[in-house]
Amino acid sequence: MTRLGILLSGRGSNFLAIADAIDRGQIDNAGISIVISNRAEAPGLAAARARGLATAVIEARGRKRAEQDAEIIACLREHGAELICLAGYMRLLSPEFVVAYPQAILNIHPSLLPAFPGLDAQRQALQYGVGITGCTVHFVDDQLDHGVIVLQRPVPVLDGDDEAALSARILEQEHIAYPEAIARVLSGNYTIADRRYVARASHNASLLEEIK
């Protein structure tokens, strides 16, 4: 079983979508071994406790990022986490963190990257006037919202949308995208060519090819 470590800062709806997908058997052979928050009052943390999952609060407390991250890495290792999922984790990771988990940290971002990285991506999309935005699940590298893209889902911007309405429709797609991206990555059925995530033909597809 692959153990997932979840990092969050707030509401935790993406974390819950992942946990529900595991419970439904939609993500094969995986379990959440630890949920870590940098904010003690994060509702996502309370939701994790309510589900009986191990949780930890590791705050910045005026420390350097690398010090906080060293504590997070130690906690993830203690719980045997192999794939790290940032689920509304609103702090940048230190280079040391990224190096500790090469191609094993995923993030979800509420825009079609590389458009609108950083904070308030939905507001940025509205202000720019795009017709289509969406969400992106990507591997985390040492630059903000930049690593190899695993999966994107588009969301149209509708006339009369405000930030709340658009964010809610993007969030629905996030809850589909994140479990699907995790399942794809855990299947190991992909390669990365330059920056491109390339799904390998599935075993069944290649069998069908042989039969033809």
Distance CA 37, CA 33 (A): 14
Binding test (CB under 6 A) with ligand GAR, winner from 5, 6, 7, 10: 10
Instruction: Write out the DSSP string of 22-37.
Output: HHTT-STTEEEEEEEE
* Site for ligand GAR contains 11 (CB under 6 A): yes
Sheet holding 190-193, edge to edge: 55-57, 30-37, 2-8, 83-86, 105-109, 132-139, 149-156, 196-199, 190-193
Distance CA 137, CA 145 (A): 10
Binding test (CB under 6 A) with ligand GAR, winner from 4, 5, 14, 18: 14
* Site for ligand GAR contains 44 (CB under 6 A): yes
Distance CA 186, CA 165 (A): 32
Q: At what angle do helices 43-50 and 13-23 cross, to 10 degrees?
A: 20
Residues 189-208 that bind ligand GAR (CB under 6 A): none
Rounded to whole angstroms, the maximal C-alpha distance in the chain is: 63
Closest separation between CB of residue 148 and ligand GAR, Å?
Answer: 16
β-bridge partners, 198: 191
Contacts with ligand GAR: how many residues (CB under 6 A)? 15
Select the span of 9-17, 32-40, 58-66, 181-189 touching ligand GAR (CB under 6 A). Answer: 9-17
Closest separation between CB of residue 172 and ligand GAR, Å?
Answer: 11
Q: Which one is catalytic: 109, 138, 146, 203?
A: 109
Write each residue from 111 to 130 as x if it is in contact with ligand GAR (CB under 6 A), else as -, in one continuous string. Answer: ----------x---------
The closest of 183, 93, 185 to 145, measured between CA atoms, is: 93
109 part of the active site: yes
Residues 70-109 that bind ligand GAR (CB under 6 A): 87-88, 108-109
Write each residue from 144 to 183 as x if it is in contact with ligand GAR (CB under 6 A), else as -, in one continuous string. Answer: ---------------------------x--x---------
* Site for ligand GAR contains 12 (CB under 6 A): yes
**Helix, strand, or coil here: 106?**
strand
Cβ-contact 2, 83 below 8 angstroms: yes
Q: Which is nearer to ligand GAR, 36 or 204 (CB)?
A: 36
Interaction site with ligand GAR (CB under 6 A) = 8, 10-14, 44, 87-88, 108-110, 121, 171, 174
